[in-house]
Amino acid sequence: MKIDVVILAAGKGNRLKPITDKTPKSLIKIGGECILKKTLDGLDPNKVGDVFIITKHLEEKIENFIEKNRKKYLFNIIKISQGKIKGTYGALASVKKLLSGWFIVINGDDIHSAKDLKKFFKEKNQIGVSKKESKYFEVIFDKNKNFKKFKRDSQNKKRFIATGCYTLNKEFFNFKPEKTSEGEFGIPQTIESNISKIKPKVVIENNWDQLNTHQDLDYLREKYLIPNQIQ
């Protein structure tokens, strides 16, 4: 059975200004290709149903990208504008009426390898994690990879953090959305608040990179060896 995919690409990318004043984060080119293309190329067309791309900031540029590249893919790509609810949960909620069962959520401005993405099609109720040097909440899980909690006061310099990739069911929308520290509504916070009902497991991504800051961009330029370009 094929599974729908939701790509979250609505954010403003304020920490990457002035680049993101004219270019959505998902269209920033790394290694000669924009992040959104890398994500779409990493999806197995034999396992994917529809792909929904949630947009808001500079969404006309993402729409133009979709129209130029639509014929390259065997799955249907649908652009959805984010509604009034803010945060990752708000972006996801924008497409809830179009989802019928299990689906995969992907953070559209990070780089996920094709090998890692395949893991999310194998099980239900999953949270992607990757071990990085970071100040983000540490993801705590047991030896059987059962998610336990987010540790907000972790002292570990290198820790497992959430990658923004999940396998969820439409029933997820029955849960009350939980706020982030910024006052928006977050997917991981909502999962944590309903852990006894969802019973999620973690999926370890071995080749995942985030793009939040200019420091991240410099690192990715070096990693992928090709100078960054803006579409």
Quick one: pLDDT at residue 215? 87
67-87 pLDDT tens trace: 999 889 999 999 998 877 788
Report the pLDDT averaged over residues 118-147: 91
Q: Is the pLDDT of residue 230 over 50?
A: no
Quick one: pLDDT at residue 136? 84
Residues 6+ apart with CB under 8 A from 85: 93, 94, 177, 185
Q: Is the pLDDT of residue 231 over 50?
A: no
Percent of the chain with pLDDT over 90: 63
202-225 pLDDT tens trace: 999 999 998 888 988 888 888 886
Quick one: pLDDT at residue 133? 85
Give the chain as a 3 state SS string: CCEEEEEEECCCCHHHCCHHHCCCHHHEEECCEEHHHHHHHCCCCCCEEEEEEEECCCHHHHHHHHHHHHHHCCCEEEEEECCCCCHHHHHHHCCHHHCCCEEEEEECCCEECHHHHHHCCCCCCEEEEEEEECCCCEEEECCCCEEEEEECCCCCCEEEEEEEEEEEEHHHHHCCCEECCCCCEEHHHHHHHCHHHHCCEEEECCCEECCCCHHHHHHHHHHHCCCCEEC
Q: Is the pLDDT of residue 229 over 50?
A: no
13-42 pLDDT tens trace: 788 899 889 999 999 998 888 999 999 999
Quick one: pLDDT at residue 156? 86
Q: Which residue has the higher pLDDT, 98 or 212?
A: 98
Q: Is the pLDDT of residue 116 over 90?
A: yes
Quick one: pLDDT at residue 228? 46
148-166 pLDDT tens trace: 999 888 888 899 999 999 9
